Amino acid sequence: MPFDAWRELEPSAAARAVHQRVAGLPALLRSAALAWLKPESALGEELSGAPLGAPLGGIPYFLKDLFDVAGVPTHAGSAFLGTARPVTGDCQIVRQLRTAGAALAGKTHLVEFAAGLTGENRNYGDCPHPHRADRLAGGSSSGSAALVAAGVVPLSIGTDTGGSVRVPASFCGLFGYRGTPGDEWVRDAFPLSPTCDTAGWFTAGAADMRETLAALVSPPGGSKSEPRGVFLRANDLLAGSPVDAACARAAAEFSAPADTDTRDALLAAWQGAVDAYSTVVMSEAHIIHRTWLTTHRSAYDPAIWQRFSDAGNFEPEKVTAARKVFSGVQENFTQFFRTHDFLVLPGAPLPALTKAQCTAETRRAILTFSAPASLGRRPVLTVPVPLEDGLTAGLQIIVRDPASPVLDWVLRKF
């Protein structure tokens, strides 16, 4: 149901609807997506207590379990964080959403410590796609995306470091928003990489995304002229993508293909982006986890433990070189936005993955599409692209800053 339909429900009925929808989920999806569910009576009270005229009044939402909620352990998809790290109170985004009238319905699972893009988690179960049980929802904000796509709530909060909103939004057919690194919403979340971490959210519809952006980011802004944007095809970034044609058709509805010079300049600046991203993010993750990597080794997913541990052996020169690539990408975007208002890229080179597709090679392929905006520290709107087989792809709309009128302009086209 869209926001308006939720607002028509009495608070007690809305709380009951959330609980009934959770109960109706397939058991595997419920256990893999849901970390904590607020009691129905408490949710009803919070929905009824929204300030008069609040922009998100009457809207229940779920929260990725990287954000703190008073009285609720934060597990971050892990087996031990809930007892290793105390929670002292509500995080900033919960406080701001409460002021905007939204009511917290619960918390969602994720890839362990947000260190993955597929939706896999050995502690709580791999998060299945809510409409295709043979596929995964994508990650790391897997539970947040899955519960919106399944219709349990109309809004959920995630994070995006290297694609963790953009990828599951593309896989699950959702609208997604990724903010900017270091903003007030992400500073008090449990981090993966402070350089790249952002907060964001999912909605099922464009109108709901417009309302959320207006309430949390900035009111819709008009533009005296049609914004200028261009798109790159999936095959520009990685040959043989099965979503290339569909994404190109969808992008052409509101942008032109990039001219040769623009395309070549972007692609040249992004050479080495995936390796630079992995180097910086893993080096920062190692610093955050270095004590626990010894004391809680057996509690980590072995692959994640290995990646975090290996980063402790990076030569300083390797990290310095990676940060230089970051600077180059940021300068390239600065140059781009002097003549353009937005850039469109496919959200991922593939639709929702099967378990067998969750390989290191696939991860690298996805990062080829998602890393540029992460290195560039730019906000991104993701919009869904239907595919002929019933799966979905997505488009990343990369903009200059969160106040860009392009966001509202694009959403009005859906």
How far is it, in rounded angstroms, from Cα 341 to Cα 169?
22
* Chain segment 169-181, per-residue pLDDT in tens: 999 999 999 999 9
pLDDT for position 218: 79
pTM exceeds cut of 0.85: yes
pLDDT for position 374: 98
Residue whose C-alpha is closest to residue 129's, from 121, 141, 120, 138 = 138
Tokens 């990076």 -> residue: 314
- Taking residues 185-201, report their average pLDDT: 97
Pairing of strands 256-257, 103-108: unpaired
Q: Which long-range contacts (CB under 8 A, 24 or more apart) does 289-296 make?
A: 289/113, 292/80, 292/84, 296/80, 296/84
* Chain segment 272-314, per-residue pLDDT in tens: 999 999 999 999 999 999 999 999 999 999 999 999 999 999 9
pLDDT-derived band at 332 (thresholds 50, 70, 90) equals very high
pLDDT for position 222: 64
Q: What mean pLDDT, rounded, does the chain reach? A: 97
409 pLDDT above the threshold of 90: yes
pLDDT for position 399: 98
219 pLDDT above the threshold of 90: no
C-beta of residue 103 within 8 angstroms of C-beta of residue 197: no
Catalytic residues: 64, 140, 164
202 pLDDT above the threshold of 90: yes
* Chain segment 89-144, per-residue pLDDT in tens: 999 999 999 999 999 999 999 999 999 999 999 999 999 999 999 999 999 999 99
217 pLDDT above the threshold of 90: yes
- Output the 3-class SS for the chain: CCHHHHHCCCHHHHHHHHHHHHHCCCHHHHHHHEEEECCHHHHHHHHHCCCCCCCCCCCEEEEECCCCECCECCCCCCCCHHHHCCCCCCCHHHHHHHHCCCEEEEEECCCHHHCCCCCCCCCCCCCECCCCCCCECCCCCHHHHHHHHCCCCCEEEEECCCCCCHHHHHHHCCEEEECCCCCCCCCCCCCCCCCCCCEEEEECCHHHHHHHHHHHCCCCCCCCCCCCEEECCHHHHCCCCCCHHHHHHHHCCCCEECCHHHHHHHHHHCCCHHHHHHHHHHHHHHHHHHHHHHHCHHHCCHHHHHHHHHHHHCCHHHHHHHHHHHHHHHHHHHHHCCCCCEEEEECCCCCCCCHHHCCHHHHHHHHHHHHHHHHHCCCEEEEEEECCCCCEEEEEEEECCCCCCHHHHHHCCC
C-beta of residue 124 within 8 angstroms of C-beta of residue 82: no
C-beta of residue 266 within 8 angstroms of C-beta of residue 232: yes
How far is it, in rounded angstroms, from Cα 72 to Cα 82?
9
- Taking residues 82-94, report their average pLDDT: 96
How far is it, in rounded angstroms, from Cα 124 to Cα 27?
12
Domain that holds residue 318: 1-414
31 pLDDT above the threshold of 70: yes
Residue whose C-alpha is closest to residue 98's, from 146, 63, 72 = 63
- The number of folded domains in the chain is 1
Tokens of 33: 């997506």
Distance, first Cα to last Cα, the chain: 16
Cβ neighbours for 21, distance < 8 A, ≥ 6 positions apart: 150, 151, 152, 153
CA-based angle 281:276:232, to the nearest 5?
Answer: 110
* Chain segment 223-250, per-residue pLDDT in tens: 667 999 999 999 999 999 999 999 999 9
- Taking residues 20-34, report their average pLDDT: 98
What CATH number does residue 190 fall under?
3.90.1300.10
Rg (CA), the chain: 20
pLDDT for position 220: 74
